[in-house]
Each structure stands twice: as structure tokens, then as C-alpha cells.
Homo-oligomer: A and B are copies of this chain.
Amino acid sequence: MDLTLTPEQIQFRDELRAWLKANVPAPVPRGTEESMEQRFARLRVWQRQLFDAGWAGVSWPKDCGGRGASLLEQVIFLEEMARAQAPQMANTLGLGLIGPTIIHYGTQEQKMRYLPKILSAEEIWCQGFSEPNAGSDVAGIRSDGRLDGDHFVINAHKVWNSYGWVADWCALVVRTDPTAAKHKGLTYILVDMKSPGVEVRPIRQMSGESEFAELYFRDVRVPVANVLGKVNSGWEVALGTLMHERATLGSSITIVYRRMFDKLVAYTKNTIRSGRPLSEDKGIRQKLAQAYAELEVFRVAQLRSVARVSSTGVPGPEGSFLKIFWSEYNQRFQQLAQEIMGPYGTLEEGSPYAIDGGEWAYGFLRTRGNTIEAGTSEIQRNIIGHFVLGFPKSY
């Protein structure tokens, strides 16, 4: 067991830290009038800037524009970005999910074609997995991909799609063999969003925002050459993507959550009730300490998982517990913030007296999605039960 960084990793981190210090744009305060388009354009410029300086795709192959470093450097990168309060990069899904999937399953042509433009944010990606009747049951996909010469003709209805409104490409899973068993017969295919027949409709969330959209594909023609992996083995490819989602997400989460924790501590120190700061209330101290302990445990459990993935190369099903951990931690933490802030915690963006621009009111509502998105807590517990503990399937 040795958690120290190598001299090279330290050098990497220090260089990155210095670069970020010099280049991270000033934060745009919450509540600033800015359209979705303006915001996205800003993130796109920022990603391009990182790319030009050689910081995009840290663990990606060099010949595709990456840096060719290990997963640990990638983790350092995510941590430093979070620490510097840098904006996220525009091409979130391309960088975090679809790029790694292309690296793993793509042909050399596909890699050369798609990866550099993911890194430079020249082409933005979205993903089409979930359907109205295939949420937790990912394999229940009904979208139809019918072979017609050297094209697939796709009719699909996808939901919970992020970035669809701005995406150039979509990584889509469709059913190409309706006669095969549920998990067979699926194909992972890369679709140009400018193809005729593609429509994007926003879904409004309970928190008021529209992070997500529905996608409709009507008789969309996609070349067979755009299939990633083999035809009818899309389930395997999609699973790989889902695993990646779990593996790297935690690295930046710990930093973001730690910042929220520090903000809440500051709030209790600065807020006087009954003549004393809230931070001196024994009950509140106990609860804050508990939250700190949980967050630290998550940080080191995540560290352990990343270290393991970086030595084995593949994220395993045991990572499911980390998804449960951070999502349920965040719900507990935001509830604690609500208890501490009382009615002020419920004031939303734009309201007088809203704390931190309404970040806490938004944050609390947003957490309800945490135990649903990227695999519900129930699904994660099923995965642990079946794939880790070896119980019969319960669903």
C-alpha cells in the first residue's frame, strides 16, 4: 500500500495546477442572466483552451490527440479541475463515456475519425440509451434498427438524454435483431445528429431546469460503418460505457462535495442563533462531523477503487456500492443543510435572501435524482446481490 505519487505524477499535478491557476476563467455567479447556448459556448471555448494546452484526454492514446498517461493522471486531472473550481468541459459525455468506449471497441479508423474532435470540442456528443419503457431495464430497448443495404434505418424514442440539443453525434443503442433474446440483438451505433429525421424535445425537471431531453429518430439512415463493436453485440459495448460512468465520476465528486461541506461549515460559523454561532450547537457539530466522516470514507473508498481499476484495467461490479454511497450521502448531506438553514434553505435562485444564490434549494431538490440517475439504488443493490455476492437474480 503506497498512496504517494511518483515524481512524474507530482510534476504533472504541479504543472497542471499552475496552468489552471493562470487560466481558469473567473466564475460566473449563480443567477447571472445567461442562456443555455451562451453558457455552452463558454464551456466549449474553455475545453478548446485545455485541449490546446495538452490537458484534454489525459489517459487517451497519443495518436488520437490524448496525452497517453495512466488512469491515475486522469484522476489527478479531475481532482485538480475540481480543486481549481474550473468549469466543466463542454463535451462531458464524449470525454467521460463515449470516447473511452470508442478507444476500447472502435476500429483504428473510428478512433482517428472521432476522438480528436471529441477532445477539441469540435464535435459534441450525446448518448441514447434509456427509453420510456427501458429505464432500469436497459436491455428492454425497443428502438428499431433495420438493415437496408449498407445502412441501418433507425426508428427510436429515447429519454433522459443530456446535451442532445447541442450534440453533433449520438451514441445510440438500438435493437437490430428483434428475434434474438433480450440482451442479444442490440447494436451500438454512432449517429450524426444532423441526419434527417432526428428531433430533440426538452424535459423539464422537478428542480426547474431542463438538463435532459427526449430524442426522436424517424427513419434515420445511418451507415453500417458507424457501428461500434459488432452488430448485435451492443449490450456488451453499452455495459462497458456504464461501468466507465461509475469508475471516474467519483473523483471529481469528492472535491465538489467537500467544497459544499466547507461552505456549510462556514455558514454555521457565521450564523448566530440564540446568541451563539450554530457551529457551537452540539447536535449540529455531531451531524457535521458525521457528514465529514462519511465523505472522507467515500473519498478513500473511491481512491481504492480507482487504484484497483488502474491496475486491473476494468471497472468491476463491486463499484456499484460507490454509486449508492455518493448518491445517498449527498441526499443526507443536503437534508442536513436544509435542517441547519431552516426556511432560508428553501429560497430559490433569484429570491431575496437566497443562500449562495439559491444553490442549496436547488441542490436539495437535485439530489432526489442522484439515487435514480446512472442506475437506481435498487438496481445497484440488485447488481451487488447478484454479481458480487452471488445470489440468484431477483428481477
Q: Does A286 contact B (CB under 8 A)?
A: yes
Chain B's nearest CB lies how many Å from the CB of A288? 11
Q: Does A393 contact B (CB under 8 A)?
A: no
Chain B's nearest CB lies how many Å from the CB of A64? 49
Kindly state the separation between the CA atoms of A323 and B248 in the bound complex, as whole angstroms: 43
Q: Which residues of B contact A281 (CB under 8 A)?
A: 282
**6 A–B pairs (Cβ distance < 8 Å), ordered by A:** A281-B282, A282-B282, A282-B283, A283-B283, A283-B285, A283-B286
Chain B's nearest CB lies how many Å from the CB of A151? 43
Chain B's nearest CB lies how many Å from the CB of A285? 8
Q: For chain A residues 300-322, which have a beta carbon within 8 Å of chain B?
A: none
Chain B's nearest CB lies how many Å from the CB of A216? 33
Q: Which of A281, A282, A285 has the most CB of B within 10 A?
A: A282
Q: For chain A residues 269-317, which have a beta carbon within 8 Å of chain B?
A: 281-283, 285-286
Q: Which residues of B contact A283 (CB under 8 A)?
A: 282-283, 285-286
Q: Which residues of B contact A285 (CB under 8 A)?
A: 283
Chain B's nearest CB lies how many Å from the CB of A378? 13
Interface of A with B (CB < 8 Å)? 281-283, 285-286
For A285, the closest partner residue in chain B by CB is B283
For A286, the closest partner residue in chain B by CB is B283
Chain B's nearest CB lies how many Å from the CB of A395? 11
Kindly state the separation between the CA atoms of A194 and B283 in the bound complex, as whole angstroms: 59
Chain B's nearest CB lies how many Å from the CB of A357? 30
For A287, the closest partner residue in chain B by CB is B283
Chain B's nearest CB lies how many Å from the CB of A28? 39
Kindly state the separation between the CA atoms of A282 and B281 in the bound complex, as whole angstroms: 7
Kindly state the separation between the CA atoms of A17 and B283 in the bound complex, as whole angstroms: 41
For A281, the closest partner residue in chain B by CB is B282
Kindly state the separation between the CA atoms of A282 and B286 in the bound complex, as whole angstroms: 10
Kindly state the separation between the CA atoms of A286 and B282 in the bound complex, as whole angstroms: 10
Kindly state the separation between the CA atoms of A54 and B7 in the bound complex, as whole angstroms: 88
Q: Which residues of B contact A282 (CB under 8 A)?
A: 281-283
Closest 5 CB pairs of A and B: A283-B283, A282-B283, A282-B282, A283-B286, A281-B282
Kindly state the separation between the CA atoms of A281 and B283 in the bound complex, as whole angstroms: 8
Q: Which residues of B contact A286 (CB under 8 A)?
A: 283
Kindly state the separation between the CA atoms of A283 and B283 in the bound complex, as whole angstroms: 4
Kindly state the separation between the CA atoms of A286 and B287 in the bound complex, as whole angstroms: 12
Kindly state the separation between the CA atoms of A286 and B283 in the bound complex, as whole angstroms: 8
Kindly state the separation between the CA atoms of A281 and B286 in the bound complex, as whole angstroms: 11
Kindly state the separation between the CA atoms of A281 and B280 in the bound complex, as whole angstroms: 12
For A280, the closest partner residue in chain B by CB is B282
Kindly state the separation between the CA atoms of A317 and B298 in the bound complex, as whole angstroms: 41
Kindly state the separation between the CA atoms of A285 and B286 in the bound complex, as whole angstroms: 13
Kindly state the separation between the CA atoms of A286 and B286 in the bound complex, as whole angstroms: 12
Kindly state the separation between the CA atoms of A77 and B329 in the bound complex, as whole angstroms: 47
For A283, the closest partner residue in chain B by CB is B283
Chain B's nearest CB lies how many Å from the CB of A58? 45
Chain B's nearest CB lies how many Å from the CB of A170? 37
Chain B's nearest CB lies how many Å from the CB of A203? 28
Chain B's nearest CB lies how many Å from the CB of A236? 31
Chain B's nearest CB lies how many Å from the CB of A280? 10
Kindly state the separation between the CA atoms of A286 and B281 in the bound complex, as whole angstroms: 11
Chain B's nearest CB lies how many Å from the CB of A205? 28
Kindly state the separation between the CA atoms of A281 and B282 in the bound complex, as whole angstroms: 7
Chain B's nearest CB lies how many Å from the CB of A281? 6
